[in-house]
Structure 1
Amino acid sequence: MRVYSLRSGEDSMDLMLDKTVSAEHPIESKFTGDSKITVWTPPILYTNNKRKYNDFPRYLTGHPIISEKVKNILFPIIAEEIECLPLAHPELKLFMLNITNVIDCVDYSRSVIKLTGKGNFARFIKQVFDFSKIPEKTYMFKIKETAIIQVFVTDKFKELVELHGLKGLDFSEVYDSAFTADKEEEQERNYQAALDSIERSKGIEFSYDEARILMEQGKAVASGKWRMQLDENGELWIADLTPALLYDWGQPIYIPPVLMLLQWHEVEKSEINL
């Protein structure tokens, strides 16, 4: 089994809530798995950016939204796991999904968590599922630890989406039942070996400011797991090496201060794969 974090992709339309909607409306409440259908009235949402797809529009809070077409496909199959809450939109029939299927399936023996100062759960540093606790016929679910902000789907959901040609989801974040503890340890060894190789092969080191000058000259720079380079438009891209030994590229809104404190060295420019 594979599990994915449910995300609308960059090509999905953006929605925004009408300013007249009361702060007391259920859409502004926490979605933790409790039913909302009996207290729900359709709030008004508008299109902020049309983009390419509208099967799975993006909404600021991260609550999943689907089109009527998607509802007609999904609801008959996974009605026991979700509520489809109608939205008022001037052009489209849209629904917000309230996932009521909350499963206790975190493998705490392999997961790493960060606690608050009072010793309460804050977030996962590393999250691992106990797949034996996820029923085979599951399509969508939440876990109690992150129910407010995160929805998970299984490979059954992904197959259903692909079967019907639905567009606009990002299935890049994967949790795989085949990724056993032994494979995890092997991955960690390979990752550390890759970092050690980078460290051994580095040349002359220089400061962040000097690295920026080199990038403006068309060079790429690296420091440990980090890489930086400019694209053909002069835009800055930053990547970090993932445990899968792939560079995860992105354009930063701001420069993380930690990068300004590192020592950098020159490397060959990479192809930026998103």
Structure 2
Amino acid sequence: MKVYELKHNDSSMELNTLDWDHELASDFNGEAKAKIWTPTKVKTLYKKKYSDFPRLIIGKPIMKGNVKKVFEAHISREVELLPLIHDELELYVVNITNVLDCVDWNRSDVRRYSDGDWAGFNKLVFDFSKIPSDTYMFKIKETALVKVYVTDLFKTIVEKQKFKGLNFSIVYDSEFTQEKEDEQQRLYNIALEEIDRNKGEESSYDNARRLVDQGEAMASGPWKMQLDQQGQFWLGELLKDLSYQWIMPAYIPPVLLLKSWHKVARSEI
């Protein structure tokens, strides 16, 4: 089994709510809302390319009507599909009520407050024996307010139906044992050492950005920036599987402005 964090790609339509006092703006922590729900209006902020899974900026999953029709029979016991109002589209917010106790606390790297209470995950590992094999969507209680997870059953339907707008790059694999994790980390460290060992003249961020505009690719540790063939700027981060995860950033994280950058080979984006 594989589990993915439900995330949107940069080409998904973006929506906002019009009524901040409505239940849509409340916490979605796994509790049912259907009995108190009334449809509320949302508006398009940015139309973009894909509308199958619009991104609501306050963080709740949204499905278009045709997507709901495909998924409803599969996920009805795990979610509530609550209607929204939109000027052009039939939309539903997905309230995930399937909250599982499936964290592998022995392998997960946990941040804790001084009193010992849970504060967050540096690394999350699932105990897949606690995730039923017919699961499509779920939350865990520790992150129920902010994260939704889906399985390969969900992903398979998305791909079969050619629905667009989701990013399945954050993956958790039941076959990814501790031994495989250690080996992946070893290879990742080697890749970072190779990047550092082969760096030539270093530049400040501002100089590096000018070189990027001239067609160069620049790297600093796991970070890389370059233009695509259309001249658009992309920022990439080297993942543990040695691929780059690329985004078109709305802003540059301040920590990257202080790093030294050097020329590297361009990537295919």
Q: Is the 8 A contact 1:249 1:272 kept in 2?
A: no
Please state how far the C-alpha of 1:45 moved relative to its aligned partner.
1.4
1:16 aligns with 16
User: What CA distance in whole angstroms lies between the structure 1 residues aligned with 2:90 and 2:232?
Assistant: 38
1:6 aligns with 6
Q: Is the 8 A contact 1:102 1:143 kept in 2?
A: yes
User: What CA distance in whole angstroms lies between the structure 1 residues aligned with 2:153 and 2:135?
Assistant: 7
Query: Residues 76-155 of structure 1: matches in 2 within 5 Å?
Result: 76-116=73-113, 119-155=116-152
- TM-score when scaled to structure 2? 0.89
Counterpart of 1:142 in 2: which secondary structure? strand
Among 164, 167, 191, the residue aligned to 1:167: 164
Counterpart of 2:43 in 1: which secondary structure? strand
2:186 is aligned with what amino acid? R
2:98 is aligned with what amino acid? N
User: What CA distance in whole angstroms lies between the structure 1 residues aligned with 2:45 and 2:191?
Assistant: 43
User: What CA distance in whole angstroms lies between the structure 1 residues aligned with 2:158 and 2:204?
Assistant: 47
Q: Which runs of 5+ in 2 are unaligned?
A: none
Q: Please give the per-residue CA displacement for 1:179-220, whole angstroms capped at 9, x wherever unaligned.
A: 111100000111111122222222233443443454454333
User: What CA distance in whole angstroms lies between the structure 2 residues aligned with 1:66 and 1:34?
Assistant: 19
Please state how far the C-alpha of 1:6 moved relative to its aligned partner.
1.6
1:185 is aligned with what amino acid? D
Q: Please give the per-residue CA displacement for 1:51-78, whole angstroms capped at 9, x wherever unaligned.
A: 3333222211221111222222222222
Query: Residues 1-274 of structure 1: matches in 2 within 5 Å?
Result: 1-18=1-18, 21-23=19-21, 25-116=22-113, 119-231=116-228, 235-268=232-265, 270-273=266-269
User: What CA distance in whole angstroms lies between the structure 1 residues aligned with 2:188 and 2:95?
Assistant: 38
1:271 is aligned with what amino acid? S
User: What CA distance in whole angstroms lies between the structure 1 residues aligned with 2:205 and 2:50?
Assistant: 39
- TM-score when scaled to structure 1? 0.87
User: What CA distance in whole angstroms lies between the structure 1 residues aligned with 2:66 and 2:202?
Assistant: 55
Identify if the C-alpha distance between structure 1 residues 235 and 68 changes in structure 2 by more than 3 Å, giving closer, same or farther: closer
2:65 is aligned with what amino acid? E
Is the deviation greater in 68-77 or in 91-100? 68-77
Please state how far the C-alpha of 1:125 moved relative to its aligned partner.
1.8
**RMSD value, Cα:** 2.3
Identify if the C-alpha distance between structure 1 residues 229 and 72 changes in structure 2 by more than 3 Å, giving closer, same or farther: closer
2:159 is aligned with what amino acid? E
Q: Which runs of 5+ in 1 are unaligned?
A: none
Identify if the C-alpha distance between structure 1 residues 136 and 217 changes in structure 2 by more than 3 Å, giving closer, same or farther: closer
